[in-house]
Structure 1
Amino acid sequence: MIDKYNRKIDYVRLSITDKCNFRCNYCMNENVRFMQDNELLSLIEIEKLVKVLKDLKFKNIRLTGGEPTLRPDIIDIAKIIKNYFGEFSITTNGSLMHILAQDLKKNGLKNVNFSLDSLNRYTFTKITKRDDLNNVLNGLEKSLEIGLNVKLNTVIQKRNFNEVFELIEFAAKYKLPIRFIELMPIGNNYNENDFISEDILKSKISEKYSLIPYDKKLGIGPSKYYIIKELNSKIGFISAMTHNFCSSCNKIRISANGNIYPCLAFDYHIPIKDVILKEEKLKEKIQFAILEKPQRHYLNEIKKVTPMHKMGG
């Protein structure tokens, strides 16, 4: 589908829960309140939604959360998506992938983005508030062992800035692309003092490595990639704050309780749960949401309240 700025919108990030077993410093507090189970889209509603998305020519679905692997019926959801789309992607903190990776792959999972902000147990625990690094690394190993396509996501901030080279070299060792993501002022946990820009990060990396622009896409996301010459590895930057990529945005987000967010940077949303079992009305709402997609974000000018985990990350 084409929006009013002539962007092709064919990618949906579908949240299946707002719950998470981590409490990352930039995302949520310990006292966060999650949705009740009866607020979440049911399997029947998810199947209807996935069918309509396929009918509307969406090409790619990525499951998100919260932490999507916490949803008890995630395998059933995978089977639904496989039936209509053949395959899907997931973004995960990785803590349960050592248990779920095999069954998810069997039921259509192809691409996995692992969130990995530190390889140091102390720093990892300081960021996530959970001493769970070993399970994440075990999940990563399991995913690679069974042949899933894996990328690493690192939210760069002052508290892990000194680990940049270690993270790059870890990714290179496993021949994985790593993407560094700028902090965004979304929700109530953003701390401006933690912010590291892409340019500062590149300057740091250039002290040790040469970055050669890589003009091919890896997947369907917004990351701009480079080759690290000395390691023959790939590194990406997702920098919504300092290197706006809105002109090429191709996605909408659907929250776990059935709200379409045309843009990550706005609280504005279109509820669909009330029409989700009525195909034609659901199609109309999705089409309307795409037409409501703004030209660009204004994160530097407008305060956004809805936290990331409530809208599908």
Structure 2
Amino acid sequence: MSQQLQDDFGRRFHYLRMSVTDVCNFKCSYCLPDGYHPNGKQSFLTLSEIEHLVAAFAKVGTRKVRITGGEPTLRKDFTDIVRLLADNDAIHTIATTTNGYRLEKNAQEWYDAGLRRINISVDSLDPRMFYQITGENRFDQVMSGVDAALNAGFERVKINAVLLKDLNDKDLPRFLHWIKHTPIDLRFIELMETGLGHEYFQAHHLAGEAIKGRLMAEGWLYDQPSAEDGPAQNFSHPDYQGRIGLIMPYSKDFCASCNRLRVSAVGKLHLCLFTEQGLDLRDLLQSTAQQPALIERLHQQLHLKKETHFLHQGITGVTQHLASIGG
């Protein structure tokens, strides 16, 4: 059985978000407010296990892999992981999401290894607010990393900003000024409630529709989605070099366009960012001979994928914080 992965609702999955570590060196208030605390001695996927994992996913239609964390670039073999993915001809797009900590020094090396798309978390353009949200006084370092990524030649540089009421919700004019002459995709991500974040969610959740209304009033135009866009709603403006995307998980039919699966840094398949504990794949990542059994397991598990994430009902599942399976 090697046909493309498809669930019982007709959704096809060509996009794998693969976490390679849950370690992070930032203390973002919406994700790891108390910083990273290891849960015992973790053994993250090895290069060999990653190779077997990606080879199996490629056989069942995966064409895009995003390397996630925690902070994925904290792995000393991050460049080797990128090269490994680039060596698989079936993988057409290699991306990562980073806090930008190591980007200034390594952007060109990662690009040369085969990385082509990069998402950088910049939750505020006010250095003081950046520090308040991230717990790290590294705004200038991260912004230098953004410049390095733009100079390295990446085909797409995206900036991720989590919308936070009473924190960065006054930053929209600054962000708009920045992308007027800078060719980046700016994405505002609506805050999602997690198991440990109920009070924070109640205090700081801001609906993306509020930003959407302001954009439309200022002449921004909705871009028709492509197959790769997933749940993001993208907008462009004739006077701006950059684009804006909104990720609004509480909006109607958000899950209808789901095209991604997640594997955690310890080798568990997660059908959704929320709801379930994850299914262990690691026992089938030890040799090439196990690939048929691994593919069979993937197909079987897709029958268990739910139609929606149930966040509307206040059900946050077992996800305690987004760093645990890569967001």
TM-score range, shorter chain: over 0.9
Determine whether 1:311 maps to 2:325.
Answer: yes
- Aligned pair count reads 312
Partner residue of 1:34? 38
2:284 alignment partner, SS class: coil
* Contact 1:213–1:226 under 8 Å retained in 2: yes
User: Structure 1: how far apart are the matches of 2:30 and 2:226?
Assistant: 28
User: Structure 2: how far apart are the matches of 1:299 and 1:289?
Assistant: 21
Q: 1:167 to 1:46 in 2, by over 3 A?
A: same
Q: Indicate the larger mover: 210-219 or 231-240.
A: 210-219
User: Structure 2: how far apart are the matches of 1:198 and 1:183?
Assistant: 9
Q: 1:231 to 1:78 in 2, by over 3 A?
A: closer
Determine whether 1:103 maps to 2:109.
Answer: yes
Q: Indicate the larger mover: 34-43 or 45-54.
A: 34-43
1:237 alignment partner, SS class: strand
* Contact 1:10–1:250 under 8 Å retained in 2: yes
User: Aligned AA for 1:201?
Assistant: I
* Contact 2:186–2:244 under 8 Å retained in 1: yes
User: Structure 1: how far apart are the matches of 2:266 and 2:148?
Assistant: 31
Partner residue of 1:168? 176
Unaligned runs of 5+ in 2: none
* Contact 2:22–2:70 under 8 Å retained in 1: yes
Q: 1:36 to 1:60 in 2, by over 3 A?
A: farther
TM-score, normalised with respect to structure 1 = 0.93
> How does 1:155-234 map onto structure 2 within 5 Å?
155-158=162-165, 159-189=167-197, 190-205=200-215, 209-217=218-226, 219-231=228-240, 233-234=242-243
1:253 alignment partner, SS class: strand
* Contact 2:182–2:242 under 8 Å retained in 1: no
Alignment equivalent of 1:126, drawn from 121, 132, 135: 132
Partner residue of 1:279? 291
Alignment equivalent of 2:25, drawn from 10, 21, 25: 21
* Contact 1:222–1:249 under 8 Å retained in 2: yes
Alignment equivalent of 2:305, drawn from 293, 297, 310: 293
Taking only aligned residues, the RMSD between alpha carbons, in angstroms, comes to 1.9
Shift of 1:77: 0.8
User: Structure 1: how far apart are the matches of 2:157 and 2:227?
Assistant: 11
User: Structure 1: how far apart are the matches of 2:35 and 2:28?
Assistant: 13
Superposed CA offset, 1:35-90 (max 9, x none): 56652111111111111111222111000111111111111111111111264111
TM-score, normalised with respect to structure 2 = 0.90
* Contact 1:98–1:142 under 8 Å retained in 2: yes
Percent identity, aligned pairs only, is: 30
User: Aligned AA for 1:171?
Assistant: I
2:118 alignment partner, SS class: strand
1:246 alignment partner, SS class: helix
User: Structure 1: how far apart are the matches of 2:234 and 2:106?
Assistant: 29
Unaligned runs of 5+ in 1: none
* Contact 1:18–1:35 under 8 Å retained in 2: no
Partner residue of 2:152? 146
Shift of 1:101: 1.2
* Contact 2:100–2:146 under 8 Å retained in 1: yes
User: Structure 1: how far apart are the matches of 2:92 and 2:84?
Assistant: 9
1:191 alignment partner, SS class: helix
